[in-house]
Amino acid sequence: MLLGKTVVLGVSGGIAAWQTPEIIGQLQTIMVNVYCIMTKAAAEFITPLTLQVASQNPVAVDQFERRKEWNIAHIALADVADLLLIAPATANIIAKIAHGIADDLLSTTVLATTAPVVIAPAMNPKMYANPATQANLARVREFGYHIVEPEYGKTACGTEGVGRLARIPVIINAVTELLSVQRPIIMQ
């Protein structure tokens, strides 16, 4: 049990976003508090309301939305996170992270956090195998970010290969392992 730990769950715009409520439920099973950040593209696949109901917390989508819960959303969410999980992580968000692009709430939060970052890619197998995607994954690994490798199988577009979101228990195990490790306190 990880009572008192907080996971900020970043959801990017891929069809695998439909699995996000199950990820939230599994995180809550291990007594983790979950806050969600969605990209605008993710909100095309699943609604913020669905994730708000599942997480029982406000969901952040717009970087410039004013909420009384958070002063400056990307800083507040980065600070509250014991771990930042991005699932599903599209090729787009992985590229942004790899190159320090901060043009939405999720990418700015990644840059602002000192918490461990776990990335669970999910995309078309050809996109996953593309040299640019592989180079971006190598780069985020160099940053010390953790990758939960996608699985082989048939994807939503009908293509078979490596690119499907890892099974949820595999993702939860990665989160549990990292949250169980004591981190040194970083003075800011």
Percent of the chain with pLDDT over 90: 78
Q: What is the pLDDT of residue 183?
A: 60
Q: Which residue bears the tokens 């180079």?
A: 135
The residue among 134, 140, 149 whose CA lies nearest residue 87 is: 149
| Catalytic residue of the set 52, 157, 173, 177 | 157
**pTM for this entry:** 0.91
In this predicted structure, the answer to whether residue 156 has a pLDDT above a threshold of 90 is: no
Query: Is the torsion defined by CA of 53, 54, 58, 62 positive or negative?
Result: negative
Residue 36 a catalytic site member: no
Q: Which CATH number fits domain 6-180: 2.60.40.1190, 3.30.565.10, 3.40.50.1950, 1.10.10.10?
A: 3.40.50.1950
Model confidence pLDDT, tens digit, residues 86-134 = 999 999 999 999 999 999 999 999 999 999 999 999 999 999 999 999 9
In this predicted structure, the answer to whether residue 72 has a pLDDT above a threshold of 80 is: no
Distance CA 41, CA 47 (A): 10
pLDDT, mean over the chain: 91
Distance CA 127, CA 154 (A): 14
Query: CB atoms < 10 A from the CB of 30, how many?
Result: 15
Query: CB atoms < 10 A from the CB of 48, how many?
Result: 17
Query: Is the torsion defined by CA of 167, 169, 172, 174 positive or negative?
Result: negative
* Backbone φ and ψ of 135, nearest 5°: -65, -40
Q: What is the pLDDT of residue 148?
A: 98
Alpha helix (H) ranges present in the chain? Answer: 20-29, 48-55, 73-80, 91-98, 105-112, 125-129, 131-142, 168-180
In this predicted structure, the answer to whether residue 75 has a pLDDT above a threshold of 90 is: no
